[in-house]
Amino acid sequence: MEALDVVIITNTDQDEAVELIRDLSAPLFRSLPARSKSTKTLSIESFPKLANPWLLPWSHKHLVSERFLSAGSAYTHFIYVEDDILLSFQNFCYFTHYREILKERRLIPSFQRIEYNDADNRLYLVDQVGVADLNSRNRVDLDGYAFVNLDYPFNAMFILDRELALEYVETPSFDRERSKLVRPEWDVACRAAMGLCFESPPEGFLTRYVSPVDPSTLSAPSWSWVYHLPNNYAKDRLKPFAKTRVDQQFGSELDVVCWRPASKLVEYLALMRGKKRFNGPQSSL
């Protein structure tokens, strides 16, 4: 990687807040002796006058159409990540490798969000609610892995090469209003991150996104995981997310899932402690 341009999208334009963002980011942009010729730049774009704060995840789209795809652009990849996702270089290498192999099948390599639960020292899949059956779904076998659709393909990010970006800007998924037709049950923030997931998947697949699974262990390799930094679901008894262990996603025993709906008493006590159930943005957005 010769150059990396990072753009942080925020809804604050206060000088003090913007400088704080720069100060926090500064250590990440120090040169690496092992790659002294590579460059990194940081810019911050502020959108303080949004009609609703939940529209912020859509404020990056112009970077795809106007900057990444501009005439003479030397960019090779565009990466969108929500602010609480840790994406590694290993993740990126996984994507670029399997993107080339899967493109002829009109499939895109995808990721799974994980969280760590310090109560039992285990990793959990944020978006996998319950176990799944690997043998019941279509698959593409590559390098000893079965690439399959996940039950819930949200991963709070997407990666585009130039070919994917050119396709993306022409689809309903690129537009906030038209994206409602693609996935009406997803809220405005989730739709902003879905990329080409649901745009014309090939026959036999529900989405374009496929994730690798090792058939011998029935688990996904770590390079296909992205870390959900807050760890706010793993120990939250009120929500079903991050309750399926990474090694049990395709297990055959239904009792491996440790989450059950909270009782009314537990919900009441959580409410008294200020943990009011959060319903997300308005469905009209």
Measure the CA–CA gap between 136 and 182, rounded to whole angstroms.
Answer: 25
| Residue pLDDT, tens place only, 37-49 | 889 999 999 999 9
Quote the pLDDT of residue 153: 95
Using an 8 Å Cβ cutoff, are 246 and 114 in contact?
yes
All residue ranges of the chain with pLDDT < 50 are: none
Q: Residue 25: helix, strand or coil by DSSP?
A: helix
Quote the pLDDT of residue 266: 52
Measure the CA–CA gap between 228 and 62, rounded to whole angstroms.
Answer: 26
CB within 8 Å of 213: residues ≥ 6 apart = 134, 145, 146, 147, 148, 219, 220, 249, 250
Two tokens, residue 71: 């005439």
| Residue pLDDT, tens place only, 26-37 | 998 888 888 778
Using an 8 Å Cβ cutoff, are 240 and 129 in contact?
yes
Using an 8 Å Cβ cutoff, are 149 and 161 in contact?
no
Quote the pLDDT of residue 282: 82
* Burial of 254 (C-beta count, 10 Å sphere; 0-12/13-18/19+): exposed
Kindly report the pTM of this predicted structure: 0.91
Neighbours of 78 (CB within 10 A): 20
